[in-house]
């Protein structure tokens, strides 16, 4: 009788530990380790290729003498969306003020990294396609 009571008491305690570990561990592991990274394809149609900068779904398509370049609009500091200023031809982050030139290279501010450059390729219909990881 005494052994049975002891067994039930210990089972309840260890069960509580297991539930506690699950309650603490699930949010930590779901945040840290099990994020699914997927890719998104963005196509800029031919009529969107005349401007110096075009924005679509978190990506800037930049036109230069060398051709087209796609840049992620996500600031490398803490992830805010940068804005392109046509007059100064720079990107400015509205959150903490980082600045990047038109090719995405860091100029000033806390980011200290360039904007992410994305691959570009022509589509059969004359558009420009890029792929961004989200």
What does the alpha-carbon distance between residue 104 and residue 117 come to, in Å, rounded to a whole number? 7
Build a one-symbol-per-residue string for 110-129: x at contacts with ligand FES by CB under 6 A, - elsewhere. Answer: xx------------------
Nearest CB to ligand FES, comparing residues 44 and 106: 106
Q: Does 75 bind ligand FES (CB under 6 A)?
A: yes
Build a one-symbol-per-residue string for 80-99: x at contacts with ligand FES by CB under 6 A, - elsewhere. Answer: x------------x-xx-x-
User: Do residues 54 and 42 touch, judged by C-beta distance below 8 A?
Assistant: no
Pick from 3, 1, 10, 104: which is nearest to 61 by CA? 104
In 33-121, where does DSSP find H-type helix? none
Q: Does 42 bind ligand FES (CB under 6 A)?
A: no
CA atoms within 13 A on the CB side of 3: 0
- Summarize as ranges the residues that interact with ligand FES (CB under 6 A): 75, 77-78, 80, 93, 95-96, 98, 109-111
């Amino acid at each position: 009788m005494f052994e049975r009571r002891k067994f039930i008491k210990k089972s309840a305690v260890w069960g509580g530990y297991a539930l506690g570990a699950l309650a603490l561990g699930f949010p930590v592991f779901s945040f840290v380790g099990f994020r699914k990274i997927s890719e998104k394809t963005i196509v800029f149609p031919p009529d969107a290729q005349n401007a110096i900068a075009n924005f679509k779904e978190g990506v800037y398509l930049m036109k230069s003498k060398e051709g087209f370049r796609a840049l992620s609009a996500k600031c490398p500091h803490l992830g805010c969306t940068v804005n392109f200023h046509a007059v100064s031809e720079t990107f400015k982050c509205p959150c903490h003020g980082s600045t990047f030139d038109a090719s995405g290279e860091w100029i000033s501010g806390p980011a200290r990294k360039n904007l992410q450059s994305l691959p570009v390729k022509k589509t059969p219909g004359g558009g420009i396609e890029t792929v961004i990881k989200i």
